[in-house]
Amino acid sequence: MEAISSGILINGPGILDPCEKEPSDALQCLTKQQREDLTICAQEYLRFISFRQIYKVLGMDLLPAMKYPNKPWKMNRKRRRSGGEQNDNDDKGDEKIIKTEGGEVSETTSTK
């Protein structure tokens, strides 16, 4: 679609017919006006495709909206920790360390 919309049919070599032994233009029977019309249609269809309106190019009805659209912000959510996989190091994050002027006190209180 991009190649045709760029104007390859108007001033370019055309489209070679793969079924012929000798190189020949498959569109040699088209007039210059018909080639320009094809180029204009290809440009319009390319615009439709780039703006997510390919259903217009294919001549079909618009597909219904997804019931549950993908939400990319939910994919980055962290998993919760399961209760059985806690290490001794994980418990330290849930406890408070009481500090005094002289230094740390070994007494800790749980926040659970």
Question: To the nearest whole number, what is the mean pLDDT of the chain?
Answer: 79
Does residue 57 contact residue 45 with C-beta atoms inside 8 Å?
yes
Q: What are residue 15's phi and psi, to 5 degrees? A: -120, 125
> Quick check: 51 pLDDT over 80?
yes
Q: Alpha-carbon dihedral of residues 58, 62, 68, 74, nearest 10 degrees?
A: 60
pLDDT at 40: 96
Question: What is the spatial distance between Cα 45 and Cα 99, in angstroms, rounded to a whole number?
Answer: 71
pLDDT at 26: 87
Residue range 65-109, pLDDT digits in tens: 777 766 665 666 666 777 665 555 555 556 777 777 776 565 555
Task: Give how far Cα 110 sits from Cα of 86, 89, 93, 98, 107, Å.
Answer: 15, 14, 10, 11, 10
Residue range 6-26, pLDDT digits in tens: 988 888 777 888 888 998 888
Architecture of domain 1-58 in CATH? Orthogonal Bundle (1.10)
Task: Give how far Cα 69 sits from Cα of 64, 66, 72, 73, Å.
Answer: 12, 5, 9, 12
pLDDT at 82: 74
> Quick check: 34 pLDDT over 70?
yes
